[in-house]
Amino acid sequence: MPALILSAQRIAATVAAGHHGRRQAGPGEDFWQFRPAQPGEPVTRIDWRQSARGSRAYVRETEAEAAQTVCLWCDPSASMRWRSAPALPLKSDCAILLTLALGALLLRQGERVRLLTPGEPVDIPPGGRAALDRLAVALMRTMAHDPEDTNLPHPQQVPRHARVVLVGDGLCGLPAMAALLRGLTARPARALLLLVNDPAEADLPYAGHVRFSGLEGEDTLTLSGVEQVRGAYRDAYARHQAALADLCRTNGHLLIRHATGQRPEEALLALHAALSGRGERP
C-alpha cells in the first residue's frame, strides 16, 4: 500500500490544482466581474487600471470558492481482476490507482471525499497524508470484499448536489446501471463514469481454438474458431458502449474511457477537467 500511495501522489502531482467556483462574488482567486464602486468603498478595493478606461471607479470582484463533496466508487467485481497480457496491469489495479490519485488530488484541494462501499460510506475529510492513508485503507478493504456481495452503489449514499465518480469496466447489466444513473439524477447529483477496460475486451484479438472461463460464475465457453465471431463480438461490444454513453447523456452525466495500456495521467487529467467544469458537456 505505501507504494500505491506514492504512485497515486506522483500522478496527482502532474495535474494542476483547480478550484470549484460557486458562480458568485466572494473570497477567491479567479476573476468574477467588475462592478461600479459604491459610496464608502475602501480605496484599496478599486481596480485602477479598469477605472482609468472611463470616468467611473470600478471594483474587481473574485469568484467565491467552496469545498464540495465528491463521492468515489471503485468497482470491486471479479471481472475487474483480469488482464489480457502480462505487460498490462489488472483492470482493478488501474482502477484503484486512478481512484486513489483522484482522491489525493481532491484532498489536496480541500474537497470533502466520500468513498462509496458495499456497506456504510466512508467520509474522508481533508487533512494531509493521514487523510490519503485513510482513503487507501478504506479502498483496499472495499476491493477485498467478497465479489458475490458487492453491487453498484445506492444513490441514497450520495449527498444532494454532490459529484460522483464511478470507476469500473461498465460490464454490469444495463438495467442496473440505468437505475443508478437515474437515481443520481433524481438526488440531484452529477456523475462521471470512468470506464477502465482492457484493450482485448474491445478487439477480441484471439484466433483458433480458445476456451473462455468467466470470473463471476459464468459457464465455460469453448470456441473452435474465434476469428469467425470477432466481427459480431465487436459489434455487440460497440452497442454496449453506445448504450452506456446514451444512458449518461440522457441523465445528464459524463462518460470518460480509459484503456489499461494508456498512461493513468491521461484519465486523471480528463477527470479533473470535468470536475472543474472544463470537461465536455454530456
Q: DSSP letters along 223-253, please?
A: ES-GGGTHHHHHHHHHHHHHHHHHHHHHTT-
The Cα 244–Cα 178 span in angstroms is 8
Place of cell 483522484: 102
CA Rg, the chain, in Å? 23
Question: Same domain for 80 and 51?
Answer: no
Q: What is the pLDDT of residues 198-252, one digit of tens each?
A: 999 999 999 999 999 988 888 999 999 999 999 999 999 999 999 999 999 999 9
Quick check: is 272 in a domain? yes
In the chain, the number of structural domains is 2
Of 30-34, 45-49, 132-136, the least confident: 30-34
Q: What is the pLDDT of residues 113-141, one digit of tens each?
A: 999 998 899 999 877 678 989 999 999 99
State percent of the chain over pLDDT 90: 56
In degrees rounded to 5, what are phi and psi of residue 146?
-60, 115
Quick check: is 157 in a domain? yes
In degrees rounded to 5, what are phi and psi of residue 65?
-120, 140
Question: Same domain for 127 and 262?
Answer: yes
Quick check: is 107 in a domain? yes
Q: What is the pTM of this model?
A: 0.79
Domain of 256 in residue numbering reads as: 68-276
* DSSP per-residue codes, 161-199: T-EEEEEE---S-HHHHHHHHHHHHHTT-EEEEEEEE-H
Counting Cα atoms < 13 Å in the Cβ hemisphere of 126 gives 13
The Cα 173–Cα 178 span in angstroms is 9
Give the residue-averaged pLDDT of 4-23: 65
Quick check: is 17 in a domain? no
Of 81-95, 134-148, 265-279, which has the strongest mean pLDDT?
Answer: 81-95
Question: Same domain for 158 and 78?
Answer: yes
Quick check: is 5 in a domain? no
The CATH number for 131's domain is 3.40.50
Question: Same domain for 198 and 122?
Answer: yes
